[in-house]
């Protein structure tokens, strides 16, 4: 059995730590929340209040992401031999739950405004403040999404998607506030609040689902599986077959295990040399992949039966 791995930090040494981008998210969340809160206080718009509440969730989620990334960056130890990268899934799950709480608050305020209509005050100032906040969110979201995808960070990707959702909802709110200010159709303001609440629920459920799938050791995507299978298939010409291929992802880290069936006439040294070369090819084909291989002789019938994850060996 040969275990190959890569350093816990999968990005090049020149890359900044992921916590740097989480701190950027925290700073942006503080600024945008203050701006949107001021926009709501200025106008009295329930739509802008909804926007401010979502920014408050952004702030709480940014702190959660910062903490989870700090834990995920810890090196492997005796109690966590495969590292701490799964901590990122907790951030995504908590952020999804916070989004659902925000949606409930937005919906409550929207329904209340239907029964207690209020004329908007200073809509131009409110829209300007909200637009500035949205510009900040858009810039930060683009950075987080690019880094999150490049470095396989679900926490940064979740934060980026949430910020992008916030940008689109803010744009919708600004448009509605402008229409309400011009036409006096006050019912549009709480209506957009309800629509935003439903939209935010979809985003929150998606984040919670993605977090749960990660915690349940979901396998690698089909595209990566095809690359792995193609790499393994190239060794058939050398007499190497395989079975019991298993994969899983833990945030930025990706794992696979496979049984390599080699000619029984080969020496242990030869089999080990081929396995090392194959593992190297796999890591090059799928950057960041951690490979666990198990060598078996192809002329032993037991080798072909050894495909289950949990073996129940019985004597006699």
Find all residues with CB under 8 Å of 268, minimum gap 6, and list them: none
Domain hosting residue 73, numbered range: 14-215
Find all residues with CB under 8 Å of 246, minimum gap 6, and list them: 219, 256, 257, 258, 309
Which one of 215, 247, 278 terminates a domain?
A: 215
283: domain CATH number is 3.30.70.1350
Residue 158 within any structural domain of the chain: yes
The arrangement of strands across the sheet holding 253-262 comes to 2-4, 289-297, 253-262, 241-250
Same domain? For 85 and 179 the reply is yes
| Model confidence pLDDT, tens digit, residues 96-142 | 777 777 777 777 777 877 777 777 888 899 999 999 999 999 999 99
**Tally of structural domains, the chain:** 2
| pLDDT given at position 7 | 42
- Residues paired with residue 247 on neighbouring β-strands, in sequence order: 256
Residue 110 within any structural domain of the chain: yes
Find all residues with CB under 8 Å of 107, minimum gap 6, and list them: 193, 194, 197
Which one of 199, 215, 231 terminates a domain?
A: 215
The mean pLDDT value for 174-180 works out to 87
Same domain? For 259 and 205 the reply is no
Residue 316 within any structural domain of the chain: no
Q: Which of 17-21, 155-159, 285-289 has the lowest mean pLDDT?
A: 155-159
Residue 311 within any structural domain of the chain: no
Residue 62 within any structural domain of the chain: yes
Same domain? For 298 and 227 the reply is yes
C-alpha 276/C-alpha 291 separation (Å) is 10
Residue 313 within any structural domain of the chain: no
59, with CB counted inside 10 A (0-12, 13-18, 19+), is: buried
Whether 218 has a pLDDT exceeding 90, the answer reads: no
Which one of 215, 232, 264 terminates a domain?
A: 215
| pLDDT given at position 316 | 39
Find all residues with CB under 8 Å of 194, minimum gap 6, and list them: 106, 107, 110, 111
Residue 145 within any structural domain of the chain: yes
Same domain? For 140 and 33 the reply is yes
82: domain CATH number is 1.20.1510.10
Structure tokens that stand for 41 in this block: 């206080």
| Model confidence pLDDT, tens digit, residues 54-82 | 787 777 777 777 777 777 667 777 776 66
The answer, as to whether pTM is greater than 0.95, is no
């Amino acid at each position: 059995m040969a275990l190959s791995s890569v350093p816990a930090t999968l990005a090049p040494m020149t890359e900044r730590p992921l916590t740097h981008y989480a701190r950027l998210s925290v700073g942006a969340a503080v600024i945008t929340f203050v701006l949107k809160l001021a926009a709501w206080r200025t106008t009295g718009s329930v739509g802008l209040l909804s926007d401010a509440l979502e920014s408050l969730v952004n702030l709480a989620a940014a702190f959660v992401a910062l903490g989870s990334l700090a834990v995920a960056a810890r090196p492997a130890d005796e109690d966590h031999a495969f590292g701490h990268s799964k901590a990122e899934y907790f951030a995504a799950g908590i952020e999804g739950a916070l989004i659902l709480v925000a949606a409930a608050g937005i919906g409550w305020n929207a329904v209340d405004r239907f029964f207690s209509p209020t004329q908007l005050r200073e809509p131009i100032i409110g829209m300007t403040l909200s637009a500035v906040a949205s510009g900040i969110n858009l810039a930060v979201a683009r950075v987080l999404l690019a880094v999150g995808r490049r470095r396989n960070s679900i926490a940064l990707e979740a934060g980026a998607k949430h910020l992008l959702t916030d940008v689109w909802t803010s744009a919708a709110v600004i448009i509605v506030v402008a229409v309400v200010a011009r036409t006096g159709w006050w019912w549009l303001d709480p209506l957009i609040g309800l629509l935003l609440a439903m939209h935010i629920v979809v985003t929150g459920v998606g984040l919670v689902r993605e977090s749960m799938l990660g915690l349940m050791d979901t396998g690698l995507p089909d595209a990566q599986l095809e690359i792995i299978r193609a790499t393994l298939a190239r060794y058939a010409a050398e007499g190497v077959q395989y079975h019991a291929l298993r994969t899983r992802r833990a945030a930025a880290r990706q794992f696979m295990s496979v049984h390599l069936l080699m000619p029984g006439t080969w020496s242990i040294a030869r089999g080990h040399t081929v396995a090392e070369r194959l593992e190297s090819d796999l890591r090059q084909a799928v950057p960041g992949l951690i490979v666990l291989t198990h060598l078996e002789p192809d002329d032993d019938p037991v080798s072909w039966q050894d495909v289950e994850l949990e073996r129940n060996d019985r004597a006699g």
